[in-house]
Amino acid sequence: MTSTVFITGATSGFGEATARRFADAGWKLVLTGRRKERLDALCAELSAKTEVHGLVLDVRDRQAVEAAIASLPPTFDKLQALVNNAGLALGVEAAQNCSLDDWETMVDTNIKGLIYTTRLLLPRLIAHGRGASILNVGSVAGNYPYPGSNVYGGTKAFVGQFSLSLRCDLRGTGVRVSNIEPGLCESEFSLVRFGGDQAKYDATYAGAEPIQPQDIAETIFWILNQPAHININSLELMPVSQDWAGFSIDRSKG
């Protein structure tokens, strides 16, 4: 039986690259995103390789997610893997200067959207049993603070802890749970974060040889194709150019 993977946020970046990687390997795909034109174009392209079903939806909209999943054609009933990838960061301002609307959007997308798809698809993953997987896309920002990571980092810390807790609850079902925690990767992520500012986007990646979406897709493909008795709990990756700054100290009292 052909395996099926459900990927949220497939209209760009990691999600799109991951869809291509799994299509190349012949997996059936359920792909989601808000931008219909992009989703339609990707589904049309990949349908030359495999069966693809697109769901135009906003993961923040619980009813829309429920309706979309309920509408899946029977041929996509059996699910082997869920890639919870849809997410975003908005801004790098200090907390005291941040927009509460931006904070809410990050919580609604990165936390609430992720728990909606997880909870709604769990019965299908459990029905698959041994060899099924949930792959959550966390971030190094969930492990280490940096100025301006505030709520974004908090949402990704949630993803890490939720992933670990899920593993406990899924004991005996055969369903695996993994959290990948990438560092600097080149994608529209930074255009979104900087409100479309191309100069800030360029400065983010200049000279850094960042990770590319295809690298992340390979990592996800590797994790989801491990033997069924192995669970990759978490996998943190950075470009070689990135490491940790020292502790910072306010010296204004001197």
- Residues identified as active-site: 152
Contact at 8 Å (CB) between 114 and 159? yes
Q: Give Cα 91 to chain centroid, integer Å.
A: 18
For position 34 contacting ligand NDP by CB under 6 A, the verdict is yes
Q: Which of residues 159-198 bind ligand NDP (CB under 6 A)?
A: 182, 184-185, 187-189, 192
Nearer CB in complex with ligand 8X3: 33/182: 182
For position 210 contacting ligand 8X3 by CB under 6 A, the verdict is no
- CB-neighbour burial class of residue 37 (10 A; exposed 0-12, middle 13-18, buried 19+): exposed
Nearer CB in complex with ligand 8X3: 33/142: 142
Shortest CB 91 distance to ligand 8X3, Å:
12
Q: Which amino acid is at 143?
A: N
Look at strands 133-137 and 176-182 and give their pairing: parallel
Which of 3, 12, 117, 178 forms a contact with ligand NDP (CB under 6 A)? 12
In the chain, which ranges are E strands?
Answer: 4-7, 28-33, 52-56, 81-84, 133-137, 176-182, 234-237
Contact string 135-174 vs ligand 8X3 (x = CB under 6 A): ----xxx-------x-------------------------
Report the alpha-carbon distance of residue 116 to residue 109 in Å, rounded. 10
Look at strands 81-84 and 52-56 and give their pairing: unpaired
Work out the angle between the directed axes of helices 13-24 and 213-224 (0-180°, nearest 10).
50
Q: Return the one option of ligand 8X3, ligand NDP, none that residue 188 interacts with (CB less than 5 to 8 A, by type).
A: ligand NDP
Look at strands 234-237 and 81-84 and give their pairing: unpaired
Candidates 7-15, 30-38, 134-142, 221-229; binding stretch for ligand 8X3 (CB under 6 A): 134-142
Binding residues for ligand 8X3, how many (CB under 6 A)? Answer: 6
Nearer CB in complex with ligand NDP: 133/187: 187
Place of tokens 């069924």: 228
Interaction site with ligand NDP (CB under 6 A): 9-15, 33-35, 58-60, 85-88, 109, 113, 137, 139, 182, 184-185, 187-189, 192, 213
